[in-house]
């Protein structure tokens, strides 16, 4: 480090002797250079103890994972005391409590979390400790009423803390398993949401309340749940829970026998695909499920074959040529047959055969390439000989497509003989 300090002194002297007419960019450049050297020197000075602390932390974690709980707890307690950063101290303290919980010392672990929930440096860590103390009381110590009150208190006082959502999940699961407590929990969730509709937890309160209402299995409760979900969609259109909310909304409309309302909600789900695609190249499973159900609705109850065909064509494009492509193509052929265009249906079935044939050719080419990459000539020869004896696997869609082509051709010939439309 001596050479860094010497360089800093040289640069400092150069800066102090800068002529009055020196330009501001030159002065700023020298100042930034000095600051960089000081920062580097400080980092070098602190790196050794910091790395030592991190190594000790990882070693304590290995002790914990190996089941040496008492020794790990002692190490974490020491690390908490020796940590220079309060956030590191909090992490070590959390792990010390965790070692006791994993050792089934639930009373001691609960007391550990209780203490940490008040004296941790970071507010999120205090919330996590409070939530963990509630979990131990609920699932291990049998202190159910106290645990539920703790979860509610955490949500009321720390609605934006990372641990709050998990506390709400515990309340929901308890209500799901205990029907007698359900109405009280629903009422509390709705009261909380009305008191603070702008908080980070508000949309989740509405969603969990609607999920609990659905469990009553009555038309009135489901309609009340639909009303809550409509409020969620109106007030929180950009939240992460919106897809779950819309899918639940659609399922409730289906249970109520409202086919048009169900389709409208599913259309909204599919419409979020473009938004998802803008941020990442992925499609949610809900997009697929919504599209498939819409095809079913438009082919059946709603009798809108044009819309059914749109979704049948859009879904493979949305999924970017999925493995189930032949299945989706057969669905399209069935819609074309249903609307009376037998020629188009036959062409789509022919496309199924061509698609599977081309894909099998691609697979065979990949297999040959792998064979040619074998280490020796004998291995390459044996690999290629093995490929010769393999027949491509014929998917069931191939058989279904051939059967459909034969049936449609017969229907077209019959229609032609009767003078009907092809």
Instruction: Give the residue among 324, 304, 306, 303 at the shortest CA–CA distance from 315.
Output: 324
For residue 39, what pLDDT band results from cuts at 50, 70 and 90? low
Measured CA to CA, the distance from residue 395 to residue 356 in angstroms comes to 8
What pLDDT was estimated at residue 275? Answer: 61
Instruction: Give the residue among 401, 421, 400 at the shortest CA–CA distance from 411.
Output: 421
Measured CA to CA, the distance from residue 41 to residue 5 in angstroms comes to 8
For residues 108-117, give the mean pLDDT: 96
For residues 59-67, give the mean pLDDT: 82
Q: Answer yes or no: is pLDDT of 13 > 80.
A: no
Both structure tokens of 303: 């009798």
Q: Answer yes or no: is pLDDT of 29 > 70.
A: no
For residue 138, what pLDDT band results from cuts at 50, 70 and 90? very high
Q: Answer yes or no: is pLDDT of 422 > 80.
A: no
Tens of pLDDT, residues 295-320: 999 999 999 999 999 999 988 888 87
- Of 3-17, 75-89, 383-397, minimum mean pLDDT range: 3-17
Tens of pLDDT, residues 405-419: 999 999 988 877 776
For residues 59-78, give the mean pLDDT: 84
For residue 382, what pLDDT band results from cuts at 50, 70 and 90? confident
Burial class (CB in 10 A: 0-12, 13-18, 19+), 290: buried
Q: Answer yes or no: is pLDDT of 268 > 90.
A: yes
Q: Answer yes or no: is pLDDT of 270 > 90.
A: yes
Highest mean pLDDT among 2-6, 32-36, 315-319: 315-319
What pLDDT was estimated at residue 45? Answer: 45
Q: Answer yes or no: is pLDDT of 98 > 90.
A: yes
Measured CA to CA, the distance from residue 76 to residue 54 in angstroms comes to 11
DSSP string, 26-47: HHHHHHHHHHHHHHHHHHHHHH
Q: Answer yes or no: is pLDDT of 124 > 60.
A: yes
CA distances to 107, 144, 179, 187, 392 from 134, rounded to whole Å, are 12, 9, 21, 21, 58
CA distances to 254, 260, 292, 298, 309 from 305, rounded to whole Å, are 20, 15, 14, 6, 6
Measured CA to CA, the distance from residue 88 to residue 130 in angstroms comes to 18
Measured CA to CA, the distance from residue 337 to residue 345 in angstroms comes to 6
Instruction: Give the residue among 233, 235, 228, 246 at the shortest CA–CA distance from 287.
Output: 246
For residue 131, what pLDDT band results from cuts at 50, 70 and 90? very high
What pLDDT was estimated at residue 32? Answer: 54
More confident position, 141 or 27: 141
For residue 44, what pLDDT band results from cuts at 50, 70 and 90? very low
Highest mean pLDDT among 128-142, 194-208, 367-381, 399-413: 128-142
For residues 179-201, give the mean pLDDT: 94
More confident position, 1 or 418: 418
For residues 156-185, give the mean pLDDT: 95
- Of 66-80, 171-185, 256-270, minimum mean pLDDT range: 66-80
Q: Average pLDDT of the chain?
A: 85
Rounded (5°) CA angle 72-76-78: 120
CB count in 10 Å sphere of residue 272 = 17
Q: Answer yes or no: is pLDDT of 21 > 50.
A: no
What pLDDT was estimated at residue 4? Answer: 33
């Amino acid at each position: 480090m001596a050479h860094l300090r010497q360089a800093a002194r040289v640069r400092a002297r150069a800066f102090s002797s800068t002529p009055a007419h020196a330009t501001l960019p030159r002065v700023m450049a020298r100042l930034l250079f000095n600051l960089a050297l000081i920062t580097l020197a400080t980092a070098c000075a602190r790196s050794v103890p910091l790395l030592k602390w991190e190594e000790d932390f990882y070693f304590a974690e290995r002790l914990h994972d190996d089941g040496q709980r008492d020794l790990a707890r002692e190490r974490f307690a020491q690390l908490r005391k020796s940590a220079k950063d309060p956030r590191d101290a909090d992490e070590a303290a959390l792990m010390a409590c965790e070692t006791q919980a994993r050792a089934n010392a639930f009373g001691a672990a609960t007391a550990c979390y209780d203490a940490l929930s008040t004296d941790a440096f970071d507010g999120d860590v205090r919330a996590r400790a409070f939530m963990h103390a509630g979990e131990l009381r609920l699932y291990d110590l049998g202190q159910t009423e106290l645990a539920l009150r703790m979860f509610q208190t955490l949500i009321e006082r720390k609605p934006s803390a990372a641990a709050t959502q998990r506390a709400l999940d515990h309340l929901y699961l308890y209500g799901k398993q205990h029907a007698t407590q359900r109405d009280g929990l629903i009422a509390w969730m709705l009261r909380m949401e009305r008191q603070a509709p702008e908080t980070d937890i508000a949309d989740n309160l509405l969603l969990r309340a609607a999920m609990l209402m659905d469990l009553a299995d009555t038309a009135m409760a489901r309609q009340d749940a639909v009303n809550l979900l409509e409020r969620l969609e109106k007030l929180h259109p950009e939240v992460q829970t919106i897809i779950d909310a819309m899918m639940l909304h659609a399922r409730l409309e289906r249970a109520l026998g409202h086919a048009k309302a169900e389709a409208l909600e599913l259309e909204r789900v599919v419409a979020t695909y473009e938004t998802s695609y803008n941020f990442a190249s992925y499609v949610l499973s809900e997009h697929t499920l919504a599209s498939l159900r819409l095809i079913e609705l438009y082919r059946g109850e709603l009798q809108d074959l044009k819309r059914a065909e749109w979704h049948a064509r859009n879904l493979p494009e949305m999924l970017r040529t999925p493995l189930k492509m032949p299945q989706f193509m057969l669905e399209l052929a069935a819609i074309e047959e249903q609307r009376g265009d037998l020629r188009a249906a036959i062409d789509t079935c022919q496309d199924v055969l061509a698609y599977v044939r081309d894909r099998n050719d691609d697979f065979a080419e990949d297999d040959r390439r792998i064979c040619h990459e074998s280490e020796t000539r004998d291995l390459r020869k044996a690999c290629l000989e093995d490929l010769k004896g393999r027949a491509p696997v014929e998917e069931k869609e191939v058989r279904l497509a051939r059967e459909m082509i034969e049936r449609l051709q017969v229907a077209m010939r019959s229609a032609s003989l009767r003078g009907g439309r092809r």
